C-alpha cells in the first residue's frame, strides 16, 4: 500500500509489533464488550421475579462470584496479557541500532524536515531515503518547537525536541514509499508537515546517495538564475543550490529530483514549483517563505537554476 500512512499495513518490524499489539487489544476489547453486552441483555430480558431482594445465602454467593470474576479476575487477566504483549512489543523496537548501522539526522522545522546523512556528507529535505533490510538509526531533534516524527507504516512515533536528541530505530522490509506525518501540534501548518519516506533496494539507495553527493551542474552554469536568486531574496534563508549545506530553509541542491514540494504537499513539477515560489502563502498560509514577484523570464531563469528542465 505504497504512499499511505498505514499503521495497520506494517512494512517493518517496529510497525509490525505495534500493529500486533493493536489487534490483540481490539480482540480482547471486543470479547469483553460482547460478553458484557450479552450478560446485560440476559439480565434485562429475564423474567423478573416478584421479589427482587436477594435474601437467600446461595443466591448471594452467586452474585458475589459474578462480581469477583467479572470485576476483578477478568480485568486483571486482560491487563496482564496486554502488559506482557506490550513488553514483548517494546523488546521488538530497539532503542539503538547495532554498530555500523546507517545514521540519519532529522531536524524538525516549522513546517518541514531537514535531513542529514552525516557519514556520507549528504543533506536533503522532506524526503528520507533508506535501504531495505537494514536497521537505520534516526537522531531526531527540532530547530524550533516540539514536533513528532511518525512513519506509521514503519514504526512508532517519537517526539522531536529542541536540544534533546531522541533516537528511533526503523527498518523497512520491502521497497516502497511511505507517508510520514508530524504528530505533535506545532503551528498553523502542522497538518501539512509531511515527509516522504522512500525505502529502496541497497543498490538504488547507493545510487541515490551518489547522485546527492554530486554537485548539481545546472546551478553552477546558470549566472542569470543566480542573480534572480539573490535579487528576489531567496538567499536570505536558502543556501544556493550548488552548496552542500542546510540552513534556515530547505536545501535546494536536489530540489528538482524530489517527489514533492512544500513538505509533502504538492507533486513536484515545474508548474507547481513556479506557483509555490510566486505565492507560497496562498498555498500554505503561515509558512515562513514570502512571495516573490518575478517576471516570466526571471522565473524561467530561477527554475533552470534550481534544476527544473524546460
Ligand atoms: Cu511539526 Cu506538527
Strands (E), the chain: 102-109, 112-117, 122-125, 127-131, 136-142, 147-149, 158-160, 166-170, 176-181, 194-200, 260-261, 266-267
* 139 pLDDT more than 90: yes
pTM, full prediction: 0.82
Give residue for cell 524536515: 113
Confirm or reject: Cβ of 193 under 6 Å from ligand 1.
yes
57 vs 179, more confident: 179
pLDDT band for position 53 (cuts 50, 70, 90): low
pLDDT tens, residue by residue, 101-131: 899 999 999 999 999 999 988 889 999 999 9
pLDDT at residue number 201? 95
Q: Tell how far the Cα of 271 is from the centroid of ligand 1, in angstroms.
A: 27
Q: Tell how far the Cα of 37 is from the centroid of ligand 1, in angstroms.
A: 40
Ligand 1 atom at shortest distance from the alpha carbon of 183: 2
* 1 pLDDT more than 60: no
Q: Tell how far the Cα of 149 is from the centroid of ligand 1, in angstroms.
A: 8
Residue range 66-73: average pLDDT?
90
| Out of 28-37, 79-88, 237-246, 271-280, least confident range | 237-246
pLDDT tens, residue by residue, 231-263: 888 888 888 887 766 668 888 888 888 999 999
Ligand 1 atom at shortest distance from the alpha carbon of 184: 2
Determine which residue's CA is closest to atom 1 belonging to ligand 1: 147
98 vs 202, more confident: 202
pLDDT at residue number 44? 87
Q: Tell how far the Cα of 31 is from the centroid of ligand 1, in angstroms.
A: 37
* 183 pLDDT more than 80: yes
All 3 cell numbers of residue 2? 505504497
Bridge partner residues of 139 (DSSP): 105, 167
Count the alpha carbons within 13 Å of 284 in the hemisphere toward its beta carbon.
Answer: 26
pLDDT at residue number 86? 92
pLDDT at residue number 3? 46
* 202 pLDDT more than 90: yes
Q: Tell how far the Cα of 248 is from the centroid of ligand 1, in angstroms.
A: 16
What share of residues in the chain are helix, strand, coil (percent, to 5)? 40, 20, 40
Amino acid at each position: 500500500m505504497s504512499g499511505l500512512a498505514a499503521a495497520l499495513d506494517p512494512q517493518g518490524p517496529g510497525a509490525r509489533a505495534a500493529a500486533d499489539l493493536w489487534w490483540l487489544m481490539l480482540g480482547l476489547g471486543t470479547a469483553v464488550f460482547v460478553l458484557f453486552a450479552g450478560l446485560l441483555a440476559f439480565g434485562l430480558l429475564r423474567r423478573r421475579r416478584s421479589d427482587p431482594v436477594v435474601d437467600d445465602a446461595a443466591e448471594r454467593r452467586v452474585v458475589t462470584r459474578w462480581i469477583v470474576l467479572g470485576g476483578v479476575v477478568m480485568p486483571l487477566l486482560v491487563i496482564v496479557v496486554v502488559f506482557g504483549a506490550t513488553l514483548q512489543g517494546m523488546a521488538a523496537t530497539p532503542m539503538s541500532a547495532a554498530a555500523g548501522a546507517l545514521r540519519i539526522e532529522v531536524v524538525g522545522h516549522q513546517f518541514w524536515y531537514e535531513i542529514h546523512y552525516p557519514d556520507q556528507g549528504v543533506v536533503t529535505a522532506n524526503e528520507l531515503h533508506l535501504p531495505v533490510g537494514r536497521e537505520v538509526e534516526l537522531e531526531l531533534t527540532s530547530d524550533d518547537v516540539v514536533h513528532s516524527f511518525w512513519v506509521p507504516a514503519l514504526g512508532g512515533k517519537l517526539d522531536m525536541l529542541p536540544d534533546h536528541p531522541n533516537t528511533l530505530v526503523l527498518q523497512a522490509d520491502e521497497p516502497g514509499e511511505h507517508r510520514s506525518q508530524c504528530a505533535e501540534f506545532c503551528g498553523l501548518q502542522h497538518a501539512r508537515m509531511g515527509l516522504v519516506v522512500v525505502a529502496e533496494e541497497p543498490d538504488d539507495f547507493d545510487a541515490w546517495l551518489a547522485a546527492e553527493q554530486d554537485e548539481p551542474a545546472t546551478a553552477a552554469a546558470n549566472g542569470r538564475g543566480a542573480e534572480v536568486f539573490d535579487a528576489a531574496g531567496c538567499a536570505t534563508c536558502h543556501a544556493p543550490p550548488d552548496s552542500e549545506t542546510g540552513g534556515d530553509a530547505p536545501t535546494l541542491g536536489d530540489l528538482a529530483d524530489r517527489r514533492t514540494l512544500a513538505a509533502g504537499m504538492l507533486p513536484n513539477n515545474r508548474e507547481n514549483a513556479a506557483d509555490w515560489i510566486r505565492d507560497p502563502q496562498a498555498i500554505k498560509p503561515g509558512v515562513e517563505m514570502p512571495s516573490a514577484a518575478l517576471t516570466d523570464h526571471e522565473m524561467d531563469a530561477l527554475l533552470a537554476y534550481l534544476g527544473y528542465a524546460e
